[in-house]
């Protein structure tokens, strides 16, 4: 199930530049939601992270926290980490993995 999930610029995958060549390059990739679901379950959906439902884990929940931030900010956090969240680069995710995971989160937990 490949999809162009909504991004910072709106529906359909079109968005303004994040003013970061690495992040803009990731958003230029076509997301694969099935792969994103696998990555979420394996890396983010644990109770020590965001939980399988995006709200029951120890990390920020996707309903109350993430709606405040755009995709550029969320991708930056995924890449670099922030207060209690490790950089997902440390678990050897590819650029395509990052694109797939964020697209899955946006599609599954709309905010």
Best CA proximity match to 29, nearest among 67, 1, 2 = 2
Residues 38 and 28: beta-carbon distance below 8 Å: no
Specify the pLDDT at position 90. 63
Taking 3-state DSSP, the helix, strand and coil percentages for the chain, each rounded to the nearest 5, stand at 50, 5, 45
**For residue range 57-95, what is the model confidence (pLDDT) as tens digits?**
888 888 887 778 888 988 988 888 787 776 766 667 899
Residues 86 and 96: beta-carbon distance below 8 Å: no
Structure tokens at 58: 């120890």
For the whole model, what pTM was predicted? 0.76
Q: Is 82 helix (H, G, I), strand (E, B) or coil?
A: strand
Structure tokens at 74: 């969320």
CA distance 52 to 27: 24
**For residue range 8-54, what is the model confidence (pLDDT) as tens digits?**
433 334 456 898 899 999 999 999 999 999 999 988 888 788 888 88
Query: Higher model confidence: residue 33 or residue 56?
Result: 33
């Amino acid at each position: 199930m490949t999809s162009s999930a909504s991004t910072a610029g709106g529906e359909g995958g079109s968005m303004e530049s994040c003013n970061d060549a690495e992040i803009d390059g990731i958003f230029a990739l076509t997301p694969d939601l099935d792969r994103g679901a696998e990555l979420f379950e394996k890396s983010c959906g644990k109770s020590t992270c965001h939980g399988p439902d995006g709200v029951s884990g120890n990390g920020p929940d996707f309903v109350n926290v993430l709606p405040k931030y755009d995709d550029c900010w969320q991708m930056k956090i995924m890449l670099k980490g922030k207060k209690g969240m490790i950089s997902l680069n440390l678990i050897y995710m590819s650029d395509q993995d990052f694109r797939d995971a964020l697209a899955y989160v946006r599609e599954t937990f709309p905010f």
